[in-house]
Structure 1
Amino acid sequence: MYRTHTCGELTMADLGKEVVLCGWVQKSRDLGAMTFIDVRDRYGLTQLAFDTDDNEALRVQARALGREYVIKVSGTVIERSSKNIKINTGEIEIKVSHLDVLNASKLPPFLIEDETDGGEDLRMKYRYLDLRRNPVRNNLVLRHKIAQAVRSYLDGQQFIEVETPVLIKSTPEGARDFVVPSRMNAGEFYALPQSPQTFKQLLMVSGLDRYFQLVKCFRDEDLRADRQPEFTQIDCELSFVEQEDILVLFEGLINYLFKKIKGVEIGELPRISYADAMRLYGSDKPDTRFGMQFVEVNDLLKGAGFPVFDNAELIVGIKAEGCASYTRKQLDALTDFVKRPQIGATGLVYLRVSEDGTLKSSVDKFYGQEQLKAWAKAFDAKSGDLILVMAGDAEKTRKQLNELRLEMGNRLGLRDKNKFSALWVVDFPLLEWDDETSRYHAMHHPFTSPKPEDIGLLDTAPGKVRANAYDMVINGTEVGGGSIRIHDKGKQELMFKHLGFSEAEAQKQFGFLMEAFTYGAPPHGGIAFGFDRLVSIFAGLDSIRDVIAFPKNNAGRDVMIDSPSVISQEQLNELKIAVKV
């Protein structure tokens, strides 16, 4: 056999055993009379000892080993004289009697260490080497454990895992599709699924009333730290349920995962409406690890002759506790932050409540002390607090202040990655207006059911119709979302009409689904979690790339295998595709 044990399991209980280990050379140390080599596999690291007095030829062989050589050693487990309590095998070492080099290695382009000297681009190119590093490998182990826990929980709730097709039909709604040409159907294309949405609804029509799948999805969209062109969802659908049933069941899933994986009790998830989330945080995915809720002060600050406030649709601010001592340089830095093109604010107004109670603002020439006191009172500001205020168009200003709030949370250390705050956001708008196309689009997707009490508004005030939809947010990241679906053909046709589909377009794109609804479709709803995002939160990471074995870079490229790439003219001819250069 190649090995009797792994490099992470031998302890003092194994003293005297004859063992065989295999792994990669981590490092070697030549101390004159002795040579020590650390051998590593995915389970850990074990020190090997080569003694000149016992076998000089073997020691010469050991000295020739380079980093990342693959070796097989036989020997005896002995007690280590200089112990390392930081590793499981730190009390023992192997007195080597035989060494085989299974494969030599070139010198790696970066150190295979927890703290490496390799930049991200280099590590992405040699991802198979990067995966040897403990932090990266541990992320994949964590991913595996979460996937197994998800399956265990859902299996216990009577869910069935069903695989849905990867080659499907392109649809006009949502993000851009990745398309695949069909050789046997010239001029026609498959699309890779952005989600299995219609298929899981068809599974509900089929009577498989609880479905789930850890499924690959594909979206041809601009990339960020939390986006990849291909990603994984925990995709779920249930029949004969209302919104409350789904919230309770999947709140249970999140509690189960945090308890099993992190040993953390999340407890009952609070719920906030979309309208309140935007009003209090300027975001539909608020980070509630800290407070700093918005305070609107239009009535208080308008009419004092300060044009920025007098001409604003909204005046709104936050209170940063204990920040009155901020210097002018620090305040200027905050102003520069909100003026960045990505945020787009024109400025920032502040009010200091000094430790002695003195009030000082950046607009003192427009407001007297009594007005400043009322201003401070509106924010419930105490001595030592700093109030930061922005003004302008209501929607833009809320988004800009949200960015400032998150930045203040970072600067004050309030966004602790080891603290977890989860909540549900509910009552989203069903539709949102798109100026470019001059029509409404579904905020989630066109199969989302409106709130029953709002259906009458579809003809008169479509923008006010609320969706029977819900998102789960953890630490300011949307990790999951779903809705109760439309299961009636007539209502689905009405929805397509309000979304600007002609009858012919709706039939061409989704006729199969509406046909299925005529054969006894049950009430149903579902949810999908971004599995990569969820794992990154558990791992305390900002980027989902670090929890994916072979991710793409920010340009959507796999630099390791150099993909995407051109294909041969012969292949293009077979596919009946003409490419203009």
Structure 2
Amino acid sequence: MRKNEYRTHTCGELRESHIGMEVKVSGWFENVRDHGGVKFADIRDQHGTVQVVVEDETLLDGISKESTVCVSGRVIKRDADTINEKIATGTVEIVAETFQVLGKNKCSLPFEISSSKETKEDIRLKYRFLDLRNKDVQKNIIMRSKIISFLRSRMTDMGFLEIQTPILTSSSPEGARDYIIPSRKHPGKFYALPQAPQMFKQLLMVSGFDKYFQIAPCFRDEDARADRSPGEFYQLDFEMSFATQDDVLNVAEEVLYRTFVKFSDKKVSKPPFVRIPYKESMIKYGTDKPDLRNPLEIIDISQMFLDTDFAPFRKKTVRAINVPDCATQSKSFFENMLDYAMKIGMKGLGYIKVDDDMKYHGPIDKFLSEEDKKELAEVAGLKPGCVLFFIADEKEYAPKLAGQIRTELGRRLHLIDEDKFEMCFIVDFPMYEIDENTGNVAFTHNPFSMPQGGMEALLTKDPLDIVAYQYDIVCNGIELSSGAVRNHDADIMVKAFEIAGYTEEDLESKFSALYNAFKYGAPPHAGMAPGIDRIVMLLTGEENIREVIAFPMNSSAQDLLTNSPSEVTEQQLREVHIKIR
């Protein structure tokens, strides 16, 4: 093998075993320290940092910070009082013999590389190539690469084939907003970037492939959130033929458990992950994305107050949260919780404290009868020192408000174990709901999911009572993936869409590829797609998903580095038959 012209070793590679060797390293000129007659320079590359001793100061003439340099010299051991235990090369240094500038930095830096994460996000993203030089930012991208590589190897070992699906496809009439692309060859017609490879992976199952996966790019014109990147994201997309819900969940457990154990020192919940029906999750946790690190649970006590004299509870959905050992909290704690409740849209936050004699105190104690108090003690498991918080509102709002209060109580009382990854599956999602705009029955989630009970359920049940073979996987309150057993039967599909107001002609026109394929003999199949970005975000401990993406857009869906989206020329518009109004 020919020798590399620029280096014999990386900057992070040198150890005491290299003492006495003549070496050459290349990297970025990070900083220099003057110790009176001798200067010490730090040279950094992706692999680490090494200290260089410069006895001839003229070697550094004209070298600016963040220039790329090539240094040759001899490795020596550092003096005992100069050892740096914070870096892997901290016991050795290079005595420089030559110092060559490979790429000169001609600009003043917009921020210090080592502290770039403290800079405003828009500045960081405009100079992302500099931000990525920060070892902490770079470490996230390296971690991402390793995680994706590991996921690939696990899926391949489990017999899945990696198959790429199209990026240019047709626009979907369901789901989020598409990114559309005008066609030059077909005036007035448009491609769309895929929101997910959903249709194509199902077609692969119809085509006779047994197990498919890919690290799939997905494109949705959605607003950003801390756990959602605008524009594009990646997922571990997989599908299985002749498979049930259990088969898919078993694969997810295997892959995610091994991934989280490999890339984190935190405790990870072991398979089988707990499975929580959607209805139960909404009552106990007030969300379908429960953080199971929080031990607090919500109970439904609406029946107790149907005919109460206490107007705020009468004929309302009433939830309660029992918080053990909370009665000794300060007055300001309860005032702050009330302030929080008002901010999220509640009219108040009632509570009762339980003293050592099982007597109740608090703002709504006087509105509770003795029978109410006895029933509450039994239903909520009240004990001395407990505080029972009450959340009352209309049916559609109370569960979510209770969930927010549960989360805030867990946060303020430090009940959440930050050294854990708690996984769970949410199952049995409702197939249909009432559209709040039209008042008609509509699909709740994926319209191509198989209803539990099949055709019989569609023919005999109230649509709002039908549950689907749909499932989510949730980790620490963050949804990692949704998935479903697919509706592979054309007749069941026609009936399912009919209930939601679609005709068979609608199916044939809007979903022609999938619907027609199912007429040719489709296997039962199921799958899911855990989000890569969210997995990496959790494993790196970052709170913002943009920290784990090499070149993310900002929260306004702009790429400040390349000035995208940007205007195009009139000629480009003419070529694709577009006129801007």
Q: TM-score range by the shorter chain?
A: over 0.9
Give the distance between the partners of 1:474 and 1:458, measured in 2 at CA: 36
447-456 vs 28-37, greater mean Cα deviation? 447-456
138-147 vs 507-516, greater mean Cα deviation? 507-516
Distance 1:503 1:257, change over 3 A: same
- Pick from 285, 304, 329 the counterpart of residue 326 of structure 1: 329
1:124 aligns with 2:125: yes
- Pick from 207, 227, 234 the counterpart of residue 232 of structure 1: 234
Distance 1:319 1:27, change over 3 A: farther
Q: Is the 8 A contact 1:457 1:464 kept in 2?
A: no
Q: Is the 8 A contact 1:454 1:466 kept in 2?
A: no
1:338 aligns with 2:341: yes
Deviation at 1:209, TM superposition (A): 0.9
1:293 aligns with 2:297: yes
Once the two structures are superposed, residues 21-45 of structure 1 have per-residue CA deviations (whole angstroms, 9 ceiling, x without a partner) of 1111222111112111111111111
Spell out the pairing of 1:94-493 with structure 2 (5 A cutoff). Answer: 94-105=94-105, 106-113=107-114, 116-228=117-229, 229-262=231-264, 264-268=267-271, 269-300=273-304, 303-312=307-316, 314-340=317-343, 343-354=344-355, 359-367=360-368, 371-372=372-373, 374-452=375-453, 455-458=456-459, 460-493=461-494
The equivalent of 1:551 in structure 2 is 552
Give the distance between the partners of 1:459 and 1:502, measured in 2 at CA: 19
Secondary structure of the residue aligned to 1:247 is helix
Deviation at 1:441, TM superposition (A): 2.9
The equivalent of 2:60 in structure 1 is 62
Give the distance between the partners of 2:460 and 2:175, measured in 1 at CA: 23
For 2:59, the aligned partner's letter is: Q
Q: Is the 8 A contact 1:67 1:107 kept in 2?
A: no
1:80 aligns with 2:78: yes
Deviation at 1:256, TM superposition (A): 1.6
Distance 1:325 1:433, change over 3 A: same
For 2:225, the aligned partner's letter is: R
Deviation at 1:265, TM superposition (A): 4.8
Give the distance between the partners of 2:37 and 2:117, measured in 1 at CA: 30
Once the two structures are superposed, residues 165-204 of structure 1 have per-residue CA deviations (whole angstroms, 9 ceiling, x without a partner) of 0111112111111110001101000111111111111100
Secondary structure of the residue aligned to 2:535 is helix
Distance 1:96 1:512, change over 3 A: same
Q: Is the 8 A contact 1:50 1:96 kept in 2?
A: yes
Q: Is the 8 A contact 1:2 1:72 kept in 2?
A: yes
Deviation at 1:225, TM superposition (A): 1.3
Once the two structures are superposed, residues 87-142 of structure 1 have per-residue CA deviations (whole angstroms, 9 ceiling, x without a partner) of 10000111111101112222311111157541222111111111111221111111
The equivalent of 1:562 in structure 2 is 563
The equivalent of 2:9 in structure 1 is 5
Once the two structures are superposed, residues 499-529 of structure 1 have per-residue CA deviations (whole angstroms, 9 ceiling, x without a partner) of 2223322111112222211222111111111
Give the distance between the partners of 2:501 and 2:300, measured in 1 at CA: 36
Once the two structures are superposed, residues 242-273 of structure 1 have per-residue CA deviations (whole angstroms, 9 ceiling, x without a partner) of 11111112211112212322255531211111
| Identity %, equivalent residues | 39
Q: Is the 8 A contact 2:454 2:492 kept in 1?
A: no
TM-score of the two chains, using structure 2 as the length reference: 0.94
Deviation at 1:569, TM superposition (A): 1.2
The equivalent of 2:23 in structure 1 is 19
Give the distance between the partners of 2:374 and 2:130, measured in 1 at CA: 61
Distance 1:453 1:205, change over 3 A: closer
Distance 1:374 1:64, change over 3 A: farther
403-412 vs 140-149, greater mean Cα deviation? 403-412
Secondary structure of the residue aligned to 2:555 is coil
Distance 1:371 1:483, change over 3 A: closer
1:50 aligns with 2:48: no
The equivalent of 1:505 in structure 2 is 506
Q: Is the 8 A contact 2:430 2:468 kept in 1?
A: yes
Give the distance between the partners of 1:36 and 1:116, measured in 2 at CA: 26
Give the distance between the partners of 1:213 and 1:285, measured in 2 at CA: 25
Deviation at 1:470, TM superposition (A): 1.2
For 1:330, the aligned partner's letter is: F
Distance 1:489 1:297, change over 3 A: closer
Distance 1:455 1:335, change over 3 A: farther
96-105 vs 361-370, greater mean Cα deviation? 361-370
Secondary structure of the residue aligned to 1:391 is strand
Deviation at 1:413, TM superposition (A): 2.7
Distance 1:519 1:352, change over 3 A: same
Secondary structure of the residue aligned to 1:435 is coil
Give the distance between the partners of 1:259 and 1:167, measured in 2 at CA: 36
Deviation at 1:541, TM superposition (A): 1.9
Q: Any unmatched runs of 5+ in structure 1?
A: none
Give the distance between the partners of 1:65 and 1:455, measured in 2 at CA: 78
Give the distance between the partners of 2:511 and 2:307, measured in 1 at CA: 54
Give the distance between the partners of 1:85 and 1:179, measured in 2 at CA: 53
Give the distance between the partners of 1:265 and 1:475, measured in 2 at CA: 11
Once the two structures are superposed, residues 405-432 of structure 1 have per-residue CA deviations (whole angstroms, 9 ceiling, x without a partner) of 1122222233344311001111111122
Q: Is the 8 A contact 1:433 1:441 kept in 2?
A: yes
For 2:52, the aligned partner's letter is: L
Distance 1:482 1:310, change over 3 A: same
Give the distance between the partners of 1:63 and 1:355, measured in 2 at CA: 77
Give the distance between the partners of 1:528 and 1:151, measured in 2 at CA: 13
Distance 1:426 1:40, change over 3 A: same
Q: Is the 8 A contact 2:451 2:457 kept in 1?
A: no
Give the distance between the partners of 2:61 and 2:332, measured in 1 at CA: 57
Deviation at 1:374, TM superposition (A): 5.0
TM-score of the two chains, using structure 1 as the length reference: 0.94
Q: Is the 8 A contact 1:533 1:544 kept in 2?
A: yes
Distance 1:480 1:557, change over 3 A: same
